Amino acid sequence: MHRLKGKRAMITGGASGIGRATALLFAREGASVAVVDIDEGGGEKVAREIREGGGEAIYIRCDLTRSEDCQWAVQSTVDEFGGIDILFNNAGIIRRATVIDTTEEEWDMTMDVNVKSIFLMSKFTIPIMEEAGGGVIVNTASGWGLVGGARAASYCASKGAVVQLTKAMAIDHGGQNIRVNCVAPGDTDTPMLQSEARQLGIDESAFLAEAADRPLKRVGQPEDIARAVLYMVSDAASFVTGTTLVVDGGGLA
């Protein structure tokens, strides 16, 4: 349908999982896509897949915890595409542990990747959107940013921060015609979900079966979340800002 024809999008964590699915969907909808990730092999592969399908894409290696890397990634996207209309702050990590078992280094890394990266990427992107007359930002939160979860203290704290940061940014930048929302996925079949099973020492198939215990009786697929993000960045959501869209098969219900 080319709902994003002529739009220029940056996607962090675009090398795999939800980020990859969203990059491919955005490209099919007509957007030029900058795939931003520290995973060179995966990021290059996604960008190449988009180009081979007739779309326009670049890969940018970026350590999202470093200010200079984020600033360079934003400038590189502007240099390539001429501007940025959409920013999907999707990169994230999880450490399954209580506060007692979480090291200070693990806490800092979780907060840096899940929250600081959103602050940095938005800080450098918003002035470009403002100058162009507007834009859309979507941040990836989690159901565990709205309710608590066991043995995931740093993750829950970081995702709760994403929800509140989203609201604050929506208030601050609505006057510049910049909409800011977040998506809160439930358990989704991605490499991160698989890593949770390993961290907890649980058989992966048993972990996935437990995760599917929700009204729709399955875990999410990356494409489920990508379609929700597409809605939020499209004109269909032109009067939606400062909100959190839960996409979890009814898990929180």
Q: What value does the CA radius of gyration of the chain take, rounded to a whole number of Å?
A: 17
Question: What whole-number distance in Å separates Cα of residue 164 and Cα of residue 146?
Answer: 10
- Could you confirm whether 59 is annotated as catalytic? no
What distance in Å separates the CA atoms of residue 19 and residue 43, rounded to the nearest whole number? Answer: 10
Of 155, 162, 183, 251, which residue is the catalytic one? Answer: 155
Tell me which residue of 139, 140, 142, 145 sits closest to 122, measured CA to CA: 139
Q: How many CB atoms lie within 10 A of CB 3?
A: 17
Residues 6 or more apart whose CB falls under 8 angstroms from that of 172 comprise: none
Task: Provide the 3-class DSSP secondary structure of residue 179.
Answer: strand
Q: CB–CB of 136/9 below 8 Å?
A: no
* Catalytic residue IDs: 155
